[in-house]
């Protein structure tokens, strides 16, 4: 039996409303710390308690958020899709259904992007959820093709994101990749949009030390990035790079904190999980927040959304941290460096271009 879309949406939405008030969410909250004073929406009724991290621009960022990459839609140039490991396009539950679920569970920070191809559905979910705008922390990013096309395209994309998400301002907006010869211009445009009140905080994503140094050396850059969103997990723990950005006062958002589930059977992860009676995902998530990073897990399953958030009421000990910190290998760093070089021109008119690609600090 094929259920019509309208009936399916009603059925899923009813389930999610019930989930939002279920005892399983109360279990997540048990023992979790209260939110830092002044963090937008972090202590509002219905939200998951979350520490608030102070940014270098005076604003506060929740330490946990919900990632929307590959939620309801897989971009055609996503790594796995390009490799033939998964199909591009609509996938499983819609982004609207998943985000309604996440908001029902209590997530209030949503990590969005032009590249994710689902911002209109995220906006529909926000509208349906009934969660007030002031309780939310909405972040987005402009993709490489827009960065390549210049400041006007960046501005147009920000305006489209505002419309798609149904909001008059964004809490955070990032340059998604340091496209050579183009990314500084994109960032300068974000400065202007911030000054106009359309964006509260601005930052970057996938920036190496060398990209950041190029950016801040430009005389037009008057506002330092508040955020750098990079892949961070025990299997890609780039301590030299992380130390650099921490010294610069730039907070790090961690994507792939859970490694897409690909490390859940790793013996070290399982050993630490058994020791603390936690799941593999909770071990990886706890490592992320205990290191001071912003943790943005994603799942299309409400029960996993709940599980992933249960990371604030327990701690890893020094032995655990030592084991986890040692999982990054030289081979992993070389793989990362090759991926960086492949991605900086990805989806631009010149994807195979090599000039301007920096020799970066991988570790």
Q: Is pLDDT above 50 for 139? A: yes
Asked if 116 is an active-site residue, the reply is yes
Q: What is the reported pLDDT for 249?
A: 98
CA distance 98 to 300: 6
Q: What is the reported pLDDT for 74?
A: 84
CA distance 233 to 324: 9
Q: What is the reported pLDDT for 86?
A: 47
What tens digit of pLDDT does each residue of 53-106 get?
999 999 999 999 999 998 988 887 765 444 344 455 556 789 999 999 999 999
The two structure tokens encoding residue 23: 């005892």
CA distance 22 to 155: 42
Q: Is pLDDT above 70 for 227? A: yes
Mean per-residue pLDDT, 303-317 = 97
At 238, is the pLDDT very low, low, confident or very high (cuts 50, 70, 90)? very high
Contacts of 239 (CB under 8 A, 6+ apart): 363
Q: What is the reported pLDDT for 90?
A: 53
List the catalytic residue out of 116, 187, 207, 237: 116
Phi, psi of 126 (to 5 degrees): -60, -45
Contacts of 140 (CB under 8 A, 6+ apart): 112, 113, 114, 119, 158, 161, 165, 170, 172, 173, 174
CA distance 268 to 195: 47
Q: Is pLDDT above 70 for 20? A: no
Q: Is pLDDT above 90 for 281? A: yes
For the four alpha carbons of 113, 114, 117 and 123, in that order, the dihedral sign comes to positive
Average pLDDT, the chain: 87
Q: Is pLDDT above 60 for 189? A: yes
Model confidence, pTM? 0.86
CA distance 321 to 291: 9
């Amino acid at each position: 039996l094929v259920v019509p879309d309208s009936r399916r949406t009603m059925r899923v939405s009813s389930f999610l409303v019930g989930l939002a008030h279920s005892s399983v969410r109360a279990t997540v909250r048990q023992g979790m710390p209260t939110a830092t004073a002044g963090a937008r929406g972090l202590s509002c009724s219905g939200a998951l308690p979350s520490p608030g991290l102070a940014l270098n621009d005076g604003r506060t960022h929740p330490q946990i958020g919900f990632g929307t990459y590959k939620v309801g839609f897989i971009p055609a140039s996503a790594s796995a899709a390009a490799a033939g490991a998964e199909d591009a396009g609509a996938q499983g539950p819609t982004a609207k259904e998943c985000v309604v679920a996440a908001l029902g569970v209590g997530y209030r920070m949503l990590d969005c992007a032009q590249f994710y191809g689902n911002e209109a559905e995220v906006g529909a979910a926000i509208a349906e959820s009934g969660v007030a705008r002031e309780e939310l922390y909405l972040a987005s990013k402009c993709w490489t093709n827009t960065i390549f096309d210049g400041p006007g395209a960046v501005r147009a994309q920000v305006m489209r994101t505002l419309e798609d998400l149904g909001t008059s301002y964004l809490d955070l907006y990032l340059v998604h990749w340091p496209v050579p010869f183009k990314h500084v211009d994109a960032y300068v445009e974000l400065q202007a949009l911030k000054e106009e009140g359309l964006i509260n905080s601005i930052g970057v994503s996938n920036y190496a030390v060398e990209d950041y140094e190029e950016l801040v050396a430009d005389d037009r850059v008057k506002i330092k990035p508040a955020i750098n969103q990079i892949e961070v997990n025990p299997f890609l723990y780039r301590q030299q790079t992380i130390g650099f950005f921490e010294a610069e006062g730039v907070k790090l958002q961690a994507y792939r904190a859970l490694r897409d589930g690909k490390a859940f059977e790793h013996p070290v992860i399982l050993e630490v999980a058994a020791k603390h009676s936690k799941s593999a995902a909770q071990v990886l998530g706890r490592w992320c927040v205990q290191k001071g990073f912003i943790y943005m897990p994603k799942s299309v399953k409400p029960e996993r959304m709940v599980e992933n958030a249960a990371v604030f009421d327990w701690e890893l000990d020094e032995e655990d941290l030592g084991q986890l910190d040692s999982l990054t290998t030289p081979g992993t760093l070389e793989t990362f460096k090759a991926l960086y070089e492949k991605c900086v021109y990805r989806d631009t008119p010149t994807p195979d271009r090599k000039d301007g690609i920096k020799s970066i600090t991988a570790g």
